[in-house]
Structure 1
Amino acid sequence: MANIIIGTAGHIDHGKTALIKALNGYEGDITNEEKQRGITIDLSFSNLSRGQQNIAFIDVPGHEKLVKNMIAGAFGFDYVMLVVSAYEGIMPQTVEHIEIINLLGIKNLILVITKSDLVSSDELEKTKEKSLAFLNEFDFDIKFTQEVSIFESESIEKLKNNLFTIKNSTKQEENFFRYYVDRVFSPKGIGTVVTGTVLGKKLELNEKVFICEAQKESKIKNIQVHNENVLEANISNRAALNLQGVNSSNIKRGDLITKKGHVRGFDEIDISFKALKGKKLHHNKSYTIFIGAKKLEAKILLFDSTQELESGFATIKADEKLFTIFAEKLIIRQGNQTISGGKVLNPIIDPMKKNQKRQLLEHLENNNFKDAYYELLQAHKKGLGIISSAQRFALSHSEAIEFAKNLENVFIDEKELVIYPIETKELIVDSIREIYTKNNYALLSNASIALRLKWASTSFIQAALDELENEGFLSKDNNLYKNANIIENFAKNLEDSFLARLKKEDITPTAPYNIYDELDLDRKLGDDILKSLTAKKHVVRLQHNLFIHAESLNNIIMKMKEIIKEDGHIDIANFKAKFPMSRKYLVTYLDYLDNFSNIKKIDNKRVFT
């Protein structure tokens, strides 16, 4: 089914809500306050279907003090139905609504002149001409213009027919599902239900989603589109989602629901902006920011001025995390005035110098992702996650990889989805070279090196190992690398080194992994050496991670038996008094005493039998 969202715009009392009711019978002003005041206070949602076509209407309030509610719905529009009264023509809120629609980048527009029965044909034509002249100041694509009266059914039917000539949503499919919450409910026995507009990609029943602000994962128990249970909700569907395991108090209007791992939150984002005619943004001043259905107070920090600017780059600094994506549009207001529109350029904040940041923003403003990648790689010499490209550039993983392949002087790990500046390989080469220079008997695998260079992917480490092998510095033995200049018996030397280390540590040996790292041994190889030494009875295993030199064990057992002779027993207290070790060692050696037939345990004491 083709899904289209048409949002109303226009001045208060120009007939937006009455027009929707005439089209589909839906009474938009349903609250007592709305009925008493005769105005739409919040967004209302309804639809009109014919065959395989469905039109969802978002009726927005026209009162100047309720523009914030209008913006909350406008981000989801595919088309705008501008409603202008034939009797009054263009009015202040008509202008502000259209300015906001223009700032949000919505281009498809339908002009409907209402209340045509209240004016003469000449006056109707003049209103139409003036309205079109006003719209021509903007870059709108006007699909059609029509005059209607809710009291003339033929005009309403004609409008319906014209609306159904619009075939598809104008929203582009993105890399992942996104959904701004505009309402939250908690029906008895059902749980938490939210409503919103589907963006990015479709959503299916039983899929897992992630609520960004709450940092909570949930599962979709039910989906309703226009009061009907469905198996999926497509782009531009107005959908109600029943969320599993989420309390309604933990989610609010403006929260973003998406897929886990795709969008990170930051308390700063970088934007480009352009103020409305005659207005400017002031540096380090607080404004009301609207992103999707979200509204928040935040400071604007201008990039190129400490005073004011009509356009340029700026940073939005908030007291909460902002979950945004590249090219997302936003509105900046102060009080009841719309000041500027903006576009998210940099939704992920990186530690960068100001000159670097300026270059990055200029590239992003021009959709020059190639040079933007290069700038980011200078700030991420130890790897830039390709998976972040979905948020950074609105590119899919496959698109990002293909894009990265066309870059010069980079290393791309397609498996781990990381891209590195090629010169960073020298950091890995130098680190490995240093290990084998300091310790000629080092014997490490790729995996062991990865434990030390946690920022480097195994593929990138392998490229460095291959380089060192090709130049003759290292030689490979199975999956282990050794110093190519050493021809002695490695196995015997390594066993001797390990045994010497354990003898030195005596009765307080460290965990094997610590010894492996200090001896520059691969962990699997280290385990094999320990097994060999244990089999030869040079080493005794006391616990899972505790190995001791056999001589050291014999010595401490003799000392413990001497304590029993002197004190009549041994326990934690008198053992620790003579050998101040940690409890781990004391308990282990006391337990080991139980293996001797001439020792028995009475309560917590060991005595001779």
Structure 2
Amino acid sequence: MDETYFTIGMAGHIDHGKTTLTKALTNVDTDRLKEEKERGISIEPGYAPLQTEDGAHVSIVDVPGHERFIRQMIAGVAGIDLVILVVAADEGVMPQTEEHLEILQFLGVEHCIIAISKIDRVDEDMLELVTEDIQDRLAGTIFDGAPYVAVDSLSGKGLDELKETIFRELKRVKFRDAYGSFRLPIDQVFTVQGQGTVVRGTIYEGVVQQGSQLTLLPKGLKVKARQIQVHHEEQAQARAGQRTAINLGGIDKAEVTRGDVLVASDHFVVTDTIDVVLQPIEADFTPLKQRSPVKVHVGTSEVMGTIVFFDRNELVPAQEEVLCQIRLDEEIVVRRGDRFILRRPTPVETLGGGWVIQPKGAKYRFGNETMEMLQSRKEGTPRDLVEDALDKHIILELQQLIQHTSLDEHVLLDTLASGIEEGRFLEVAPKRYSLTKTLAKITDDITSRLADYHEEFPMRAGIGKAELVQSLSAAYPKPFIEYSLTALSGGGGIKRTGQFVALASFEPHLPKKWKTRMENIIAALETDGLKVKKWDEYFEGTPLPKNDIPELTLYLLNTRQAYRLLDDTLIHRTAFEEAVEKLRNGTEVAFGLKEAKDALDVSRKYLIPFLELLDGLNLTERREEQRHWTAGANKEQ
């Protein structure tokens, strides 16, 4: 069974006991900054692992409760699967409780547990009043009906029940699919002495492996995942749903900021204009006029922008959704369906939230035509929905496509059939589909990787198939890689020789830099005939790098320019063939050591290994003290 990974958010008003409750559950103090210790409040999100009975991997994010740190709170809860809303029994629902609730709903968090904390400070009547107050506030929201647990973190009351409730609720959460391209919105960046730049975040999609080549967006900087840690433990890889720290190579801390996104492919859009579905809050706020400045929180980024309406001149508290556009001052990385929070910069207040319907918007005219276009884009045509699902997950079975698109099976099959006919979709296996453009992309990736490999290792027959598949698996599921390799092989773009894969036009060759010196070594080997020196002796006095010696050895053996006589001795093909011809002419169908020695005029030092090589190549067959020429000896060696 696949391992599961979840991230839990600990939200609520300041001083309601979120950090203390996190420590009681995990035995980890998430307030790590000096200022946090001195002031007794959380400023940055803190993280701790929660041990589960079924082996699921769970991280708890303790987000700041103070209204001054709402930016950090939003960054902290981005990507969580379940929230524990902490409400102190002696204070009840407070302003930050309300704002956190609004933010969580706008971010699409569907699973919630209410933890009523500090119960040792109140009597039963007060606890009942607080519970009723919370129930009234949650009525009609997505968290209506969420489970309640009364706890006291210091005495330990209710902690076992809370843990049981957490484990039960996590079983209802659909864990993140590790397929799809790797995406990690960064919420923390720092340096570690002797290690360099380290970033942290919760992985939204895909898998990252140690050594992976990544891109930092929106800057487009290439980096390498030198080391991966999950809760201070080094891992070979990390996947969707995990809270992860990655030590990056090739970049300075000053080049990375909170809100940047690490990705493993170019599937992601960098944009400064997003078309959105905006749901205003119902509470009173000063109307937001057309083209007013706004602050957008999406993922872990916080960006200023301008709101643009196409059917009104101001935004007021309302229950209905508004289709509009946000033109940003800086580029961000988003996908269709990503959630965002909209806030007013002055006076600071939450205005609403929603989701992205088009990551890369354009300039549109005010009026019904644009509104109809946005509505159509919001609803998405069947083809749009299929393309979006396949773009995100690369390869999906029919049942998975139905789940991702919510299309009727007959409509979906018709859409797939027409898309295949038009060359948009591929059926890569019975009832498994992908996009033609994704095949084109992986084709470019494969050919590019092979070209780089051939340049680095020109004497090798190609890259091992397993190594190639592994290098691509961070960005593509293995079934799609296998399909692509088969398609490329059938189309003549690549060739497969045994376990090796190479470009169809590639042939192993000596590197240009050392070609002359290597040719001299090969010529010396040929000149020595059967009476060769140890292979290493041919390199004495030459400037050839030591790493190139085994490369040249394998090159000569794989291209059949030489044969291995002993572990430390090679014989040139020409010398070998001449010796075989000489031996055939000087012996009968069967011969012994004496006849062979007379025919070749060499000592036993060379004779025995040569005869054993003939046996190994099936040119001769040994029967007691005699060797017999085989039928294979009459063919080309």
TM over 0.5: yes
Structure 2's unaligned 5+ residue stretches are: 406-411, 427-434, 439-637
1:77 to partner: Cα distance: 1.2
1:408 to partner: Cα distance: 7.8
Matched residue SS, 2:51:
strand
1:176 to partner: Cα distance: 1.6
Amino acid at match of 1:235: A
Are the equivalent residues in 2 in contact too, given 1:112–1:146 (CA < 8 A)? yes
Are the equivalent residues in 2 in contact too, given 1:7–1:81 (CA < 8 A)? yes
| Aligned counterparts of 2:417 and 2:101: Cα–Cα separation in 1 | 41
1:316 to partner: Cα distance: 1.0
| Aligned counterparts of 1:313 and 1:402: Cα–Cα separation in 2 | 30
Residues 436-491 of structure 1 deviation map (CA, whole Å, 9 limit, x = unaligned): xxxxxxxxxxxxxxxxxxxxxxxxxxxxxxxxxxxxxxxxxxxxxxxxxxxxxxxx
Cα 1:414–1:129 shift into 2, 3 Å: closer
1:298 to 297, 305, 328: 305
Matched, 1:315 2:319: no
Are the equivalent residues in 2 in contact too, given 1:181–1:195 (CA < 8 A)? yes
Counterpart position of 1:347:
359
Are the equivalent residues in 1 in contact too, given 2:5–2:176 (CA < 8 A)? no
1:370 to partner: Cα distance: 3.6
Amino acid at match of 2:49: N
Matched residue SS, 2:186:
strand
1:171 to partner: Cα distance: 4.7
| Aligned counterparts of 2:384 and 2:165: Cα–Cα separation in 1 | 45
Counterpart position of 1:326:
336
1:284 to partner: Cα distance: 0.3
Amino acid at match of 1:83: V
Counterpart position of 1:146:
149
Matched residue SS, 2:422:
strand
| Aligned counterparts of 2:128 and 2:358: Cα–Cα separation in 1 | 46
Amino acid at match of 1:92: P
Matched, 1:100 2:103: yes
Matched residue SS, 1:14:
coil
Residues 147-169 of structure 1 deviation map (CA, whole Å, 9 limit, x = unaligned): 11123224223322332334455
Amino acid at match of 2:120: D
Counterpart position of 1:448:
none
Matched, 1:184 2:189: yes
Residues 3-57 of structure 1 deviation map (CA, whole Å, 9 limit, x = unaligned): 2211111111111111111222222222221122211111111111135133211
2:416 to 378, 393, 405: 405
Aligned ranges 1:186-585 → 2 under 5 Å: 186-277=191-282, 278-279=284-285, 280-308=287-315, 310=318, 311-335=321-345, 336-349=348-361, 357-370=370-383, 389=388, 394=392, 396=394, 405-407=416-418, 411-412=422-423, 417=436
Counterpart position of 1:81:
84
Cα 1:316–1:407 shift into 2, 3 Å: farther
> How many residue pairs align between the two structures?
404
Matched residue SS, 2:423:
strand
1:363 to partner: Cα distance: 2.3
- Normalized against structure 2, the TM-score is what? 0.59
2:126 to 123, 126, 133: 123
Matched residue SS, 1:317:
strand
Q: Larger Rg: 1 or 2? A: 1
1:118 to partner: Cα distance: 0.8
2:18 to 16, 19, 23: 16
Amino acid at match of 1:221: R
Matched residue SS, 2:279:
strand
Are the equivalent residues in 1 in contact too, given 2:4–2:57 (CA < 8 A)? yes
Amino acid at match of 1:165: R
Are the equivalent residues in 1 in contact too, given 2:4–2:175 (CA < 8 A)? no
Matched residue SS, 1:342:
strand
Cα 1:204–1:91 shift into 2, 3 Å: same
Matched, 1:53 2:64: no
1:283 to partner: Cα distance: 1.2
| Aligned counterparts of 1:328 and 1:342: Cα–Cα separation in 2 | 8
| Aligned counterparts of 2:419 and 2:216: Cα–Cα separation in 1 | 38
Residues 56-106 of structure 1 deviation map (CA, whole Å, 9 limit, x = unaligned): 111111111111111111122111101111111111111110011011111
Residues 474-524 of structure 1 deviation map (CA, whole Å, 9 limit, x = unaligned): xxxxxxxxxxxxxxxxxxxxxxxxxxxxxxxxxxxxxxxxxxxxxxxxxxx
Are the equivalent residues in 1 in contact too, given 2:304–2:330 (CA < 8 A)? no
Identity across the alignment (%): 29
| Aligned counterparts of 1:145 and 1:44: Cα–Cα separation in 2 | 24
Matched residue SS, 1:151:
coil
Counterpart position of 1:459:
none
Residues 530-560 of structure 1 deviation map (CA, whole Å, 9 limit, x = unaligned): xxxxxxxxxxxxxxxxxxxxxxxxxxxxxxx
1:403 to partner: Cα distance: 7.9
Structure 1 residue ranges (4+ consecutive) displaced by more than 4 angstroms after TM superposition: 350-357, 397-404, 406-410, 413-416
| Aligned counterparts of 2:26 and 2:419: Cα–Cα separation in 1 | 58
| Aligned counterparts of 1:254 and 1:161: Cα–Cα separation in 2 | 34
| Aligned counterparts of 2:364 and 2:422: Cα–Cα separation in 1 | 21
Residues 214-255 of structure 1 deviation map (CA, whole Å, 9 limit, x = unaligned): 202222211111111112212211000112212221111010
Matched residue SS, 1:55:
strand
Counterpart position of 1:156:
159
1:213 to partner: Cα distance: 1.7
Matched residue SS, 2:141:
coil
Matched, 1:35 2:37: yes
Residues 117-158 of structure 1 deviation map (CA, whole Å, 9 limit, x = unaligned): 111111111211211221123122655211111232242233
Cα 1:372–1:162 shift into 2, 3 Å: closer
